[in-house]
Chains A and B, each alone.
Chain A
Amino acid sequence: MFDFLDGYDVLAAFWMTVKLTVISALGSLIWGTLLAAMRVSPVPLMRGFGTAYVNIVRNTPLTVIIVFTSLGLADTFGVTMGSEDFAVQGFRLAVLGFIVYTAAFVCEAIRSGINTVPVGQAEAARAIGLNFSQVLRLIVLPQAFRSVIGPLANVLIALTKNTTVAAAIGVAEAAALMKTMIENEAQTLAIGAVFALGFIVLTLPTGLFLGWLSKRLAVKR
């Protein structure tokens, strides 16, 4: 029944998927938060940059971004990401691409969370003499984050599945192994089902846990 799995390290491939997901998620959370701060800041230049970045990146297909990191940055401009080894290089380039892309969605989710915080909160914070970054750090963002765990969970699940695009630049993750297995074993449906199940195992608990968390942490207004 499952003899086509012999000789393939499916777990290692999914471990690569997990690594891609976790590192990209952390990176895009940081970069996305900075972008959101830019988009609500009082400085017109920052606001303009944030808006332009989100609109350009959000409307570029992920495949184009990932392939560009390989063909554009690595092949044409000679960006090696600190390693001559193609396996490491591809991984880092892919993470870079995922952070660039996912941050735009994280930014928009956080910005919608900022909009749920009543204006009175920010006004009160200004009134006791806090500056812009303190208002954001101490008053607004903590409340905003609590209300956007749901949307961020969606972004994380999308990111998990998006990591399959890294196969296009040769990162040895789940989708790349799936290609290899289909090439050798000629069993598209069975192999496809195994990998689909693998992704469900990754994303379903994530979704359930974060759904529970968002209910628990939601700001009751």
Chain B
Amino acid sequence: MKLRKVTAAAAAALVLSLTATACGGDDGDSDSTDSGSSGGGKIKIGIKYDQPGLGLKEPDGSFSGFDVDVATYVAKELGYKPDQIEFVETKSADRENALARGDVKFIAATYSINDERKQKVDFAGPYLLAHQDLLVKADSDITEATDLNGKKLCSVTGSTSAQNVKDDFAPKANLKTVSGYSECLSGLQSGTVDALTTDDSILAGFAAQSQYKGKFKLAGLKLSNENYGIGVKKGDTATVDKINKALEKMVADKAWDKAVQDNFGPAEYKNEPAPKIGVIVK
């Protein structure tokens, strides 16, 4: 019965190693002290990795975008240098859980403030007011929202933008939904769709990319109000207050304007002025 002994030993070893890792899962790099200044700790921040101009992971592993700039500024105000920031990808469906579990300290990832989400997480901000808009070919004649019903639109499955099209302003539009905005661009280039629709900030980020320069333009329609907030774990009001102060300072010392110009400049994005903290435009 040698085999049974070996199996038992292996099982015991497995159980031991599992319990060991369960205890050692937190290797002390999440800084949970609320002192503001960190003693060489790290801060984890949730962003998007796939939205140029807002949150993008570059091929060399660096991060760029307006959300990234805002997050970096806020982290600086909380007492963390750029090299102490660890960016984590938080996809849309994952944002509430990442905060509830404490995976990240806060989230800056095109996170529109709405009532359902407010029940799950707390929001600082808003730090940007975006509107749903259309990205069309540079020579397109779509300038008004009146005749979208006869148009071929493209958006992302399940996104708020796709639902708005169906429920509100163009229920009869021929809507194609795909898994990522970049997939809409191939249809837009080949002419199988007339327009890509989502928040103008996201569209501006795509239009500003070098390979698309001059090919597309924003139609400039204000189809909805999207108040981007910074998500924080429910009940962590101390952090919300600190982030709000940081955002106010960012606007006051013009760093906010610079971040907008850096990230959306090439797309000729007519951004809204910086929103007032706590004022949500319905």
Contact = CB atoms under 8 A, between A and B. Distances in A.
B117 A186 contact: yes
A188 B94 contact: yes
B179 A167 contact: yes
A-side interface mostly: helix
Given A170-B177, A183-B158, A188-B93, 5 more contacts: A71-B186, A85-B174, A86-B177, A169-B178, A184-B116
B258 to A, nearest CB: 32
A183 B93 contact: yes
Interface residues of A, number: 30
B190 A75 contact: yes
A167 B117 CA distance: 24
B176 A182 contact: no
Contacts of B159: 183
A170 B176 contact: yes
A86 B176 contact: yes
Given A84-B174, A86-B176, A176-B158, A75 B93 contact: no
B152 interface: yes
B32 interface: no
Given A86-B174, A167-B179, A76 B158 contact: no
A182 B178 CA distance: 16
A167 B157 CA distance: 7
Interface in A59-95: 67, 70-71, 74-76, 78, 84-87, 90
Contacts of A55: none
B178 A70 contact: yes
A42 B160 CA distance: 56
Given A75-B190, A188-B94, A188-B97, A179 B178 contact: no
Interface in A164-206: 167-170, 176-189
Contacts of A71: 183, 186-187
A168 B157 CA distance: 7
A70 B97 CA distance: 31
Interface of A: 67, 70-71, 74-76, 78, 84-87, 90, 167-170, 176-189
Interface residues of B, number: 29
Contacts of B176: 86, 90, 170
Contacts of A183: 92-93, 158-160, 163
A86 B158 contact: no
A186 B190 contact: no
Nearest to B163: A180
Contacts of B192: 74-75, 78
Shortest beta-carbon contacts, A-B, top 6: A179-B158, A170-B177, A86-B176, A180-B158, A168-B179, A182-B93
B175 interface: yes
B4 to A, nearest CB: 32
A74 B192 CA distance: 8
B199 interface: no
Interface string B172-201: 001111110001001100101000000000
Given A74-B192, A169-B178, A179-B158, A86 B97 contact: no
B33 interface: no
B178 A170 contact: yes
B163 A184 contact: yes
Interface string B58-79: 0000000000000000000000
B157 A176 contact: yes
A168 B23 CA distance: 38
Contacts of A90: 176
Most buried by B among A70, A183, A184, A185: A183
A186 B118 CA distance: 10
Interface string B156-172: 01111011000000000
B245 interface: no
Contacts of A181: 158
B122 interface: no
Contact of B116 (A84, A168, A185): A185
B120 interface: yes
A76 B157 contact: no
Interface in B65-115: 92-97
